[in-house]
Amino acid sequence: MAGKVLCEATKLYNILNQYTHVPRLAESNYLCLIDARAAESYNFSHIITARNAKWLITKDSDRKFIMPMDVEVESMRYIIVYDSNTHSLLDSGPAIDCADCFEKASRFPVQILTGGYEKFSALYPFLRTQKILYNIRELESLNPYPVEILPGQLYMGDYRQATNPQILKDLKLNALVNVSDECSLMFKKANCTVLHIRIADSAEADFTSSFERMCVFIGSHLNTASPVLIFSTLGISRCCAVAMAYLMYHLKYTLKEAWIHIQQCKASIRPNRGFVQQLSDWELQTVGKRVTDISEPNY
């Protein structure tokens, strides 16, 4: 058995918002999200794409969880269950009961959402819904949100997300770091403070000379409880380099620690080789020595 682990709300948020060309939620073996609350609560509101747990009442008046017939548990990358407010693996309740059934067949640990629906919906009310069924076309047409690098503070995304007024409103964003080539008048209309550093996504581009300016800008806004979005055209190279540079500058992460953190938030990161070398130089400047071996295949 793969066992059970807790899943923080920010992790589920990022899992829901992964995408390549289309949202990963459209992949049949990506995420099985189970709402173990009573049907009345589920029908009133639940987390997007969640399905309600089905229970069988036995002759002894016990409840037995019925595994979804259309879910290939063995190949499912993420199985996440939640109830109202489970906080510990030592708790008892419907989320634990569901996870016990799933873990017997799952290759990966079954995850239980910490704080359940109550915590997640309080943090991300825009990811609540009453919609129950989705077809593939609907899943492919979902608009992912920027991933969350520091909970409620720092986000990372692409140009399309940065120019979506609803996303800016939902995430309460009014400070942006734009490292794409494009500029939009929409930011002025949305009353956003934008630091625009034009950097080509090229191995020859000079990023290092702008790192400190961007890190100071991000830190000054986070210190006033103003969330910040870092974005580039596609959201996989330039913005990732800036996010890593910030973690190294303000939190004194090594490059390896920053890389792992960003990759856990967004699996498809791909900073170009020139940026990786400049991040190594930045590590020397911020940490005081080169700790990370960028010749390793991970980089």
Q: Which domains does the chain have, with CATH numbers?
A: 4-140 (3.40.250.10), 147-287 (3.90.190.10)
The per-residue pLDDT for 64 is 75
What DSSP designation does 37 have? S
Q: CA–CA separation, 218 vs 173, rounded Å?
A: 12
Query: Quick one: which of 228, 293, 232 has its CA closest to 259?
Result: 293
Highest mean pLDDT among 87-91, 97-101, 156-160 belongs to 156-160
242, pLDDT greater than 90: yes
Taking CA atoms, 269 is separated from 127, 236, 259, in Å, by 24, 5, 9
Q: Which amino acid is at 201?
A: D
**What angle is formed at CA 155 by the lines to CA 17 and CA 272, rounded to 5 degrees?**
85
Return the pLDDT at 298.
Answer: 87
pLDDT over 80 (residue 59): no
Q: What whole-number distance in Å separates Cα of residue 115 and Cα of residue 83?
A: 8
- In this prediction, residue 214 has a pLDDT band, given cuts at 50, 70 and 90, of very high
Q: Is a pLDDT exceeding 80 seen at residue 1?
A: no
Residue 4 has pLDDT above 70, yes or no: yes
What would you measure as the largest C-alpha separation in the chain, in angstroms?
71
pLDDT number for residue 60: 61
The gap between the terminal CA atoms of the chain, to the nearest Å, is: 33
The pLDDT confidence band at residue 61, using thresholds 50, 70 and 90, is low
CA distance 253 to 245: 9
Give me the mean pLDDT over the 172-187 stretch: 87
Residue 63 has pLDDT above 80, yes or no: no
Residue keyed to tokens 């702008």 = 210
pTM, to two decimals: 0.95
* Distance of alpha carbon 136 from alpha carbon 113, whole angstroms: 25
Asked if 101 and 32 touch (Cβ cutoff 8 Å), the reply is: no
Is the pLDDT reported for residue 77 higher than 60? yes
Q: Two tokens at 40? A: 């009345």
Q: What is the mean pLDDT of residues 287-291?
A: 93
Nearest residue to 55 (alpha-carbon basis) of 68, 44, 42, 43:
68
Q: Is the pLDDT of residue 32 over 80?
A: yes
pLDDT above 80: residue 269: yes
pLDDT of residue 105: 85
pLDDT > 80? residue 37: yes
The edge-to-edge listing of strands for the beta sheet with 147-150 is 147-150, 154-158, 228-232, 175-178, 193-196
| Alpha carbon distances (Å) from 112 to 45, 78, 86, 102 | 19, 11, 8, 11
199-202 long-range contacts (CB < 8 A, ≥24 apart) are: 199/238, 201/232, 201/233, 201/237, 201/238, 201/272, 202/272, 202/274
